[in-house]
Chain A
Amino acid sequence: NAGVTQTPKFQVLKTGQSMTLQCAQDMNHEYMSWYRQDPGMGLRLIHYSVGAGITDQGEVPNGYNVSRSTTEDFPLRLLSAAPSQTSVYFCASTSRGPVYGELFFGEGSRLTVL
């Protein structure tokens, strides 16, 4: 029972570098999303997808790109990393509606941008 798998768990980048955080789920969930968690800010929605080929912006999308070519995968791309993107990133998925069920979370990816 893999659930939601995120890689890598830890990453250090220099300002201006690019990278992709991977997220995969094996529960055939339509809805997938990326959150970032910063102290005192809770979980803020970056991007989400309600199905393959469909993505939409959340609260804090700037500096991040996503794509959803398959139901299983939802990678998050940082094109030019900035120190403000230092955070813990969580991928989550759930079956889709019309009312969403439980969001299942990955273990998180801790990103540091120097």
Chain B
Amino acid sequence: GQQLNQSPQSMFIQEGEDVSMNCTSSSIFNTWLWYKQDPGEGPVLLIALYKAGELTSNGRLTAQFGITRKDSFLNISASIPSDVGIYFCAGQGGNNDMRFGAGTRLTVKP
């Protein structure tokens, strides 16, 4: 099946630092999306990418759709305490299903 490999699994950073996480796949994806999940809630969309090579920003967040369509990264600049949570990449594959990575758990120390 289509597997999404997300890294790192967890990150512990100081407030103000930049963060980078990425996802790779052995299969081509048509869409890459990045979600954030707060405790006790469902994931919420941060950024959606629809074209290979696309670079999109949303405030302090920047994400790119890899040119090979097999990878994507998410950067968070100048992290703040409310950035704490689990970040997931997700992709729409050839079977028209949406698959998720295992998540990156982010901890921000004030």
Say yes or no for A73: interface residue by CB 8 A criterion: no
How many chain B residues touch A (Cβ–Cβ < 8 Å)?
27
Interface string of A76-107 (1 = CB under 8 A from B): 00000000000000101010110111110111
Q: Are B88 and A42 in contact (CB under 8 A)?
A: yes
Task: Give the chain B neighbours of A92 by CB distance below 8 A.
Answer: 42, 98
Q: Are A41 and B102 in contact (CB under 8 A)?
A: yes
Task: Give the chain A neighbours of B33 by CB distance below 8 A.
Answer: 102-103
Q: Are B97 and A33 in contact (CB under 8 A)?
A: yes
Q: How far is the CB of A37 from chain B (nearest CB, A)?
A: 9
Residue from the list A35, A41, A107 in contact with B41, Cβ < 8 A:
A107
Q: Are A50 and B96 in contact (CB under 8 A)?
A: yes
Q: Are B96 and A42 in contact (CB under 8 A)?
A: no
Q: Are A35 and B100 in contact (CB under 8 A)?
A: yes
Which residue of chain A has the shortest Cβ distance to B10 in the bound complex? Answer: A40
Which residue of chain A has the shortest Cβ distance to B92 in the bound complex? Answer: A100
Which residues of B are at the interface with A, using a C-beta cutoff of 8 A?
1, 6, 9, 30-31, 33, 35, 40-45, 48, 50, 88, 90, 92, 95-103
3 A-B pairs with least C-beta separation: A105-B42, A42-B102, A43-B100
